[in-house]
Each structure stands twice: as structure tokens, then as C-alpha cells.
Amino acid sequence: MSAEFSSGPENTTLSELLDRDMPADAEAISAAVDVISETLARLEVPEQKLLEIALAVQEALANAVVHGCGNDHSKQVRCRMKTDADGHILIIVTDPGPGFSPERLNDPKKHENLHSDHGRGVYLIRQLMDEVHFEPSGNEIRMWKY
């Protein structure tokens, strides 16, 4: 489970693995997730860790498309992936939207929400990644996997 810090361990030198702008549509984000998975596989990231990162990125990009861009294909979402010397992975997803307050989200595991057909994305991200930080603007998420 992740904790939220005001800043991750980003004072170390980070190498950029990916910096990609994409239209706000489902097929573009799926393609980006596939590229990220391939990159992590080339880095020999263990499969379990790779899947957890890939799913967290899928969720973050989906939120950016749906909530940050209102499913407007003419808008762009940005996804960056970096690594440090210890092989820790940083993912940053940015959208042009007005932002949101993560603390206002419902708990999807509460009984009254279990049968809902939405509302699990941010919760999943927090479970899958080791550190999750939402920029105060609410339209950028930074998440670490150690």
C-alpha cells in the first residue's frame, strides 16, 4: 500500500525512459501502457512488479482521459516514466483538466460501493504503487514503485 508524501525521493538523478503525449482516447492510452510494459520487460523488471506498474498507469491514464479531458479526443494527456540508479520507477501522468480532490473519493470496499460499476481507479493505484502523490492542482499524479 502506498503513502502520500509531499515529495518522493526525486532529489536523486533520474533517467528518462519515456515522455509521451497522446490524445485522450482509450486506444491511445492502451498503446502507451503496452509501450511501458515492453520497456519494463526490457529492463528485466520482475513480472509481478511489471503488471502492478502497468495497471496503475492504465488507471491513471484512464482517469486523465475521462475526468481530466472529459473524453475529448482533441485534448492531450502526458505520461512520463523515469528511473533512478536503484531501479525505482517513477510514473507521472498529467492532464489539462481542472483537477480533483483525491480525499473526496468514496471507499470502493465499503459495502454500499461494492456493486458500483466505477470508482475503483485511484484506490487501485494506491494499492499497487509504493508512493502516490497528487499535485495540488489535482491534474498531475506522480507515483513510485520501488
Partner 1 sequence: MEINVRKRSQVQVVQLRGPLRMGAAVDDLRQTFEEALANGDSRIVLNLAEVNMIDSSGIGLLVRFLASTKKNGGSIKLIQPSKFAVQTLRLVGVLNLFEIFDSDDAAVDSFAA
**Binding positions for partner 1, rule: CB under 8 A:** 25-27, 29-30, 33, 48, 51, 54-55, 58-59, 62, 65, 108-109, 114-121, 123-124, 127-128
CB-CB neighbours of 64 under 10 Å: 26
We find the least distance from the C-beta atom of residue 85 to partner 1, in angstroms, to be: 28
CB 119 within 8 Å of CB 38: no
Rounded CA separation 4/33 (Å) = 23
Q: Which is nearer to partner 1, 52 or 84 (CB)?
A: 52
Closer Cβ to partner 1, 44 or 86, answer by number: 44
From the list 134, 123, 56, the residue with the least C-alpha distance to 89 is 56
Least distance (Å) from partner 1 to the CB of residue 26? 3
Residue 10 or 34 with smaller CB distance to partner 1: 34
Q: Minimal distance in Å, beta carbon 52 to partner 1?
A: 8
Nearest alpha-carbon partner for 22 in 10, 34, 31: 31
Of the candidates 138, 127, 111, 122, the one whose C-alpha atom is nearest the C-alpha of residue 63 is: 122
By C-beta, is 14 or 124 nearer to partner 1?
Answer: 124
